[in-house]
Each structure stands twice: as C-alpha cells, then as structure tokens.
Structure 1
Amino acid sequence: MDKRIVYVVSDSVGETAELVVKAGLSQFMEEHAYELYRIPYVENTEVLRGTIYHAKQTGAFVGFTLVNPELRHFLIKEAQEKEVECVDIMGPMLETMQRTFRKQPKQQPGLIHQLDEDYFRRIEAIEFAVRFDDGRDPRGVTQADIVLIGVSRTSKTPLSQYLAHKQYKVANVPIAPEIDAPKDLFHIPSQKCIGLRISPEKLNGIRKERLKTLGLDNRASYANIDRIYDELAHFDKVMEQLNCPVIDVSHKAVEETANIILNMVNQPYWSIDQEKENL
C-alpha cells in the first residue's frame, strides 16, 4: 500500500504543527505508513497555492499554523476550492483568545522561539543529536544525557530528535553482529543507556516496507527473518552486558516511547531492575 502524504505548513518553524499532526496520525497508522513534509517560514500565497496543488495531486492532508490572517484565509479558501482536506491548528485558538482577552494578536510568527536560554539549549541538543546520530561518532556516548541503543529501524533517529526538542542531548548507537559496540558504552552509567527492543515480525514488516520505498528487493538479507533473529539475539546479549532498561517499541509511536523515556530520566532515584520489570 502506498504511503499517505501529509503536508505541515507554517509561517514559522512548523514544530508545533508537526507535533500535533503526528499525535493525530499515531491514532490511525504507524509512522512508516506515511510521509510528512514540513513547509516552514511561508511568506507568500504562491507557496500555499503550490502546496494545495501538490496535495490535490497526491490526495494529501494539510495541517497548518499560520498567524498571519491573510495567509490563513487564503490557504483555507484555496483548500476548499480544490477540495483538499485541510485543518487550521492555530486559527481557532487565536480567535477565541482574541474574543476572551479583547485584544488583537501580535501576528508575529515564531514568538515562542524567541532567542532565550531555553531556545539555545534546544538548538544545541538538536545539533548534538544530528552529530551523534546512528553511531557516526562514538565519542557522543560519553557526552550524551541519554544513549539510545537498538538494531536498525527501531526509531532511534526520530526519538533522538524528539528528545532533543525537550533539550536532552541524545546519542544513538546501532547494534549489529558485525559491528563492535563503542567501548565507552560499557563504561558510562547504565541508567544513561536505554535499549529499544522490537519483535522480529514487526521489524521484518518495517524493513520490507523500507526496501520497497527504496525500490529494492524485499527479499534482501536486510529483511530476512533469520538475519533479524540473529540481530535481535546479539542485541539481547549487549543489553545483558549493559544491564540497562529496555523498552519494547513494537507497537509504540515515537511520542509514546519518548514519554516513557522522559518519565524514567525525570525520576531522581529510579531503579534499573524496577524499570525492567515495568517495561
């Protein structure tokens, strides 16, 4: 089945709209079943017209946060005329607040991202997650607040980015029988490490879809079920050595897994053994 297409439009970064849309999508489909395209910093109607045109061609859904009322009304009208499903995430809230507070909104995009200390910490964390993604630099495990560990296609990268937006520096480490785990991984506090487990059947389906998206034969060794069992057995051995908590992500959306991780790291005196029992 072809992936569903979703456009997220904003006259700022588009982070708020993307999070809301993803939260909604998680109620209907797995993350690998859709493609989400963010269109940030919109300043003119031509971009909006083009977005609606492409949405019409692909049967896409559009979610948007536009504080500029002219752009907002244009997009809504254009979507109605072209019969494209479109939802205004910010508009109804602004209008209700305007009536309640009896004040006009500032109509300035991105005010929530003013250059304050929190903003800079978030940007630093995002850059950290990119730099130390997928084990590309093993030194990241010693500098990270959280280290995510898992085989390929266990949502390590989107989880790293999600947690980075919460100002956590996250490194993620891929596990495979042919690749030695970074030595530093076994010398850092185990509570910094979190394993991401997935069922063989679920992983098999995800990898087949990934190969299909890339135009490759889904019978490749990457999606071979025996190969997957070997990888997961190796993963379990590494987790036993690390003695760290493990989360089963087989049927969890990224946001759900991230919330579990946040609840864990925010407990000042959590027990690894207790967390293992709970997970």
Structure 2
Amino acid sequence: MPRLHLHLLSDSTGETLEMIAKAALAQFEGADVSRHFWPMVRSQQHLDRIMAEIASNPGVVFFTLVNAETRARLEEQCAALGLPIVPVLDAAVEALEGALGQHPKARPGRQHMMDEAYFARVDAIQFTIAHDDGVQWEDWEEADIVLAGVSRSSKTPTSIYLANRGYKVANIPIVVESPPPPELFGLKHPLVVGLTTAPERLIQVRRNRLLSLNQAPETAYVDEDRVAREVQFARRMFADNDWPVIDVTRRSIEEAAAAIINLFNEFKAAREIGPS
C-alpha cells in the first residue's frame, strides 16, 4: 500500500484538527500515513506557499479555515490538483446553526481565546515541566496529581498530556536503591496515582531507549530479574499506601490520562463531600 500524505491546514493552533485526524486514523491499523501540519494559515500568500508543498506531496487535505476568501482559494487550488478536501467542522457547525437559529462568528481560533481557562492551562504546563522526574518535591502539595512509577513507565508524557488539559502534575521515579522523599507519603491535596506496566514491555521500551542513545542494550537497566523486582517493589509501595494504579502496558497516553482524570474527579468529589 503506497504512503498517504495527509495535509492538515488550520487558521489557528490546529489542536482540534490534529485530534480529529488522529481519531480518524486510529480506525486504519497499519496504514502508512505521513502527516503534514500547517497551522496559523491566515492569508492567501501563506496558503500559496503551502500549496506548493502540497503539490509536491499530493494527498488528502483536512482543513479548518473560517475566512471565506482563503477557504475558496484552497478549494480552487485543490480542485485544480485533483485532491480531495475535507472541511472537518462544517457538519457540526451547520447542525448547531440550525438548532440554535443563529449564524456562526467567523473568527479564527475562537475556541482558543485567552480566557481564564487558557491561563490556568499555561500555569499547569509550567508547573508540570518544573516538577518532572522528582524535581522540586517541596512543592508537591500544590499539585493536582502526582504520578509515581519506575523508569520508562510513561510518567512524563502522561504528565504533559494532563497538563495540557489543565491539571498541575508532578511525577516521581520509583527506584529500589533510592526511596522517594517522605513527603510523598503524607500528601493531602494531590491525588497520587501509581503507573505500572508488564516487565516484558518495560524491558522492550528501555532497550529501545538505550539504542536511541547509542548505548549498550544489555545492562542492568534491562536485566529481566532486576526489572521484575523494580516493578514488584513499586506495586508493593502503591498497595501499602492505598494509591490507585493504572496499568499502562496496553494503554495509549490518551487512554491512561483519561483513566487518571476519572480517578481525579472521583477523588475530588469524595473530598468535597467529606467523611461520611
């Protein structure tokens, strides 16, 4: 099957468009797709430069453009190249227009306006980056969520994903030879969640990491017995402290984050109700 070039054009950050494209591509296992991302397309001159690249790599074009002239130019040039184009939000906007009885406001990036929620998300991202891998544990009480797990158990990418959803997240590696600071076990405000994974999968991830760094792939870091002990040590710590656990062996970052958000919402609701 030949490679498909998928072009994503947005007049804003393109976050919505990327999520839609990713969800759609998830339905096609093993497809060879090369994604080309073109955000902040707000002028015909910018569009013309992009069209030269699209012509060099023809494929399917997904877009979210609200400016009528820019949109018309895109449609015209794609038609000339014989390329299929998909206005991914049109059906949703048209349905809401009919139901609400009002016309949509054609403002690029309107869903990303800098309101209070936007600045809260920026604050969460800054906090999360500053509290990665056990750093600044003195501030953990300010976090919403603290993730704990052995090395390469997806703590950092899951933390960043959650931060983009507005949650302040810290994470701490669980190392047999180096116990975490005692403060971890006395936290009141944040929800502490343990991340675990199958030792076999962990060894594979770690070995790939070593290879990417041009390091020897056979070290204690990937020793089967040692890794199994690490995972068991972490699981025992989670159980001893009654922390909820997410197994990330077969979960994507998005799926793990969704499960954590559900746990956090339950934790928050229980805290607001108080002891019965």
TM-score range, shorter chain: 0.7 to 0.9
| TM-score, scaled to structure 2 | 0.73
Q: Which residue of 1 aligns with 2:205?
A: 206
Distance (whole Å) between structure 1 residues aligned to residue 192 and residue 64 of structure 2:
36
Deviations 1:235-268 (A, max 9, x none): 2243244321111111112222222222222222
Assess, with a 3 A threshold, how the Cα gap between structure 1 residues 215 and 93 changes in structure 2: closer, same or farther. Answer: same
Q: Which residue of 1 aligns with 2:11?
A: 11
SS at match of 1:266: helix
Cα pair 1:55 1:84 within 8 Å, conserved: no
SS at match of 1:139: helix
Q: Which residue of 2 aligns with 1:276?
A: none
Distance (whole Å) between structure 2 residues aligned to residue 72 and residue 218 of structure 1:
52
Q: Which residue of 2 aligns with 1:277?
A: none
Distance (whole Å) between structure 2 residues aligned to residue 93 and residue 239 of structure 1:
44
Assess, with a 3 A threshold, how the Cα gap between structure 1 residues 46 and 104 changes in structure 2: closer, same or farther. Answer: same
Distance (whole Å) between structure 2 residues aligned to residue 220 and residue 53 of structure 1:
47
Q: Which residue of 2 aligns with 1:68?
A: 67
Q: Which residue of 2 aligns with 1:150?
A: 149
Cα pair 2:144 2:189 within 8 Å, conserved: no
Q: Which residue of 1 aligns with 2:23?
A: 23
Distance (whole Å) between structure 2 residues aligned to residue 17 and residue 73 of structure 1:
19
Distance (whole Å) between structure 2 residues aligned to residue 119 and residue 70 of structure 1:
29
> Which amino acid in the other structure matches residue 134 of structure 1?
D
Size of the alignment, in residue pairs?
265
**Does residue 264 of structure 1 match 2:263?**
yes
Assess, with a 3 A threshold, how the Cα gap between structure 1 residues 35 and 221 changes in structure 2: closer, same or farther. Answer: farther
Q: Which residue of 1 aligns with 2:192?
A: 193
> Which amino acid in the other structure matches residue 145 of structure 1?
D
Assess, with a 3 A threshold, how the Cα gap between structure 1 residues 250 and 102 changes in structure 2: closer, same or farther. Answer: same
Deviations 1:2-55 (A, max 9, x none): xx997654322222223333434555569xx99977653233456556667667
Distance (whole Å) between structure 1 residues aligned to residue 27 and residue 60 of structure 2:
15
Cα pair 1:13 1:41 within 8 Å, conserved: yes
Q: Which residue of 2 aligns with 1:160?
A: 159
Q: Which residue of 2 aligns with 1:120?
A: 119
Cα pair 1:193 1:245 within 8 Å, conserved: yes
Deviations 1:167-223 (A, max 9, x none): 3211122223354423321111497100111112222333344455x3635725386
Distance (whole Å) between structure 2 residues aligned to residue 72 and residue 222 of structure 1:
56
Cα pair 2:148 2:192 within 8 Å, conserved: yes
| TM-score, scaled to structure 1 | 0.72
Calculate percent identity across the aligned residue pairs.
34
Deviations 1:59-85 (A, max 9, x none): 997654333344445556666767878
Distance (whole Å) between structure 2 residues aligned to residue 78 and residue 215 of structure 1:
44
Q: Which residue of 1 aligns with 2:128?
A: 129
Distance (whole Å) between structure 2 residues aligned to residue 107 and residue 260 of structure 1:
35
Q: Which residue of 2 aligns with 1:229?
A: 228
Distance (whole Å) between structure 1 residues aligned to residue 166 and residue 105 of structure 2:
27
Assess, with a 3 A threshold, how the Cα gap between structure 1 residues 82 and 187 changes in structure 2: closer, same or farther. Answer: farther
Assess, with a 3 A threshold, how the Cα gap between structure 1 residues 113 and 191 changes in structure 2: closer, same or farther. Answer: closer
Assess, with a 3 A threshold, how the Cα gap between structure 1 residues 25 and 155 changes in structure 2: closer, same or farther. Answer: farther
SS at match of 1:105: coil
Task: Give the RMSD, CA atoms, in angstroms.
Answer: 4.0
Deviations 1:111-134 (A, max 9, x none): 222233222222222222222223
Distance (whole Å) between structure 1 residues aligned to residue 80 and residue 206 of structure 2:
39
> Which amino acid in the other structure matches residue 270 of structure 2?
Y
Among residues 210, 217, 220, which one is paired with 1:219 in the alignment?
217
